[in-house]
Amino acid sequence: MIIRAGTAVINGQICRPGWLQIAGRQILACGAGTPPGQASETTYVEAPNCIVVPGFIDMHVHGGGGGSFTEGNAPDVSASVAFHLRHGTTTTLASLVTADPAELLSAVSALADATRRGVIAGIHLEGPWLSPARCGAHDHTRMRAPDLAEIDAILTAADGTVRMVTLAPELPGSDEAIRRLLDAGVVVAVGHTDATYEQTQRAIALGASVGTHLFNAMPPLDHRAPGPALALLADPRVTVELIADGVHVHPDVVHAVIQFVGPHRVAVVTDAIAAAGCGDGAFRLGTLPVDVESGVARVRGTPTIAGSTATMDQLFRLVAGLGVDRDAALLAAVQMTSATPARALGLDRAGELRAGYDANLVVLDRDLQVTTVMANGDWRS
């Protein structure tokens, strides 16, 4: 199959026109201009008025379409993945919230199976080793300090499927936890933390390489006590997540962060919950009741934001609209929704439209609305 597009972002460059040759699950060849001559039986897909970009990679998402990853329930997992796939997310890291040890082990075991079946790309533990002072929409009564025995039990149950763990580095035992997780090949993220600037620097020196939803669930940046946000921004080894929905972070702050660190260090994430795509109403995130009003999710009876109802295509449009140079903004949006999260998670053959990579792509119209999605060489919408 050969896809001929009016515009395609190939190998990190805008090609007008551009083409991709797909064979099975893989991109066999791609480039700018006109594809080389092919056999008469070659199937062509024409998209002259469309933009083809790499499939979105969401490295922080709790659910969507009414389904949640919280318990690892197979129908819920499938519903969540299918919902976000329709919005261009071809690679999903399933995020869990704080839970008691038995519930956490059960969910990890179930999501490990989903990972082995190729439904998701792995597991993200957002908790339970977080700061009660910055609990956000997590159950603070179930938060606890890192314990190596619990970590080992989870890693055993996961059998290599945990890709990222968010923790608060000021908690006792966090240094040992970071070392153990890194030894197991797990990406360590700093988040839901009350850490100082120096404590965050130490975590980064130990190997933490991601900042979980920058600015949210951490102290605000202060000129005398800069806290974790500046430590994460200032270190070139760190990728920072941004929930660029206009609710969690002001669009001008999103733009400023991108200008400061560059799109190669920013991963746009949804942090979406089951409510995404379901309209306003009552939902749950773990043990906590959540109400969605005007598309904004909050812990019931509080002003605390409880994840988002966003989708990756929505966030793509927002960040692609930042700045005055439209081509530069398009390239930045592609980088932050695909290549940067792929690199942060160590995903091979994902995050770009490049020969030898997996055939994951999104076809957008001129308004950047999703028209169709390909995942592993199959059209899914």
245: burial class by Cβ within 10 Å (0-12, 13-18, 19+)?
A: buried
152 is catalytic: no
Q: Are 30 and 74 in contact (CB under 8 A)?
A: no
Question: CB of 336 within 8 A of CB of 254?
Answer: no
Question: Is 217 within any annotated ligand binding site?
Answer: yes
Say if residue 228 is preceded by a cis peptide, omega within 30 of 0.
no
Neighbours of 50 (CB within 10 A): 20
Q: At what angle are helices 227-234 and 197-206 packed, to 10 degrees?
A: 40
Is 248 assigned to a binding site?
A: yes
Residue 117 among known ligand-binding residues: no
Catalytic entry in 271, 291, 327, 365: 271
Does 192 appear as a known binding residue?
yes
- Tokens matching residue 135: 């609990």
Does an H or E element contain 227, and which? helix 227-234
Q: How far apart are CA 333 and CA 267, in angstroms?
A: 10
Is 126 marked as a binding-site residue? yes
User: Taking phi first (over 0 means left), then psi (-120 to 50 degrees means alpha), and beta for anything else, what does residue 136 get?
Assistant: left
List C-alpha distances in Å: 79 to 37, 103, 109. 41, 21, 18
60 is in an annotated binding site: no
Contacts of 289 (CB under 8 A, 6+ apart): 282, 283, 299, 300
The reply, when asked if residue 306 is annotated as ligand binding, is yes
Does residue 137 have a known ligand-binding role? yes
Radius of gyration (C-alpha) of the chain in whole angstroms: 20
Is 264 known to sit in a ligand binding site? no
What's the token pair of residue 92?
Answer: 């999903």
**Eight-class DSSP state of 265:** G
Q: Please check if 123 is assigned to a binding site.
A: no
Burial letters for 109-131: b for 16+ Cβ neighbours within 10 Å, e otherwise?
bbbbebbeeebbbbbbbbbbbbb
What are the binding residues for Zn(2+)? 126, 192, 213
Catalytic residues: 271
What are the binding residues? 126, 137, 192, 213, 216-217, 224, 248, 305-307
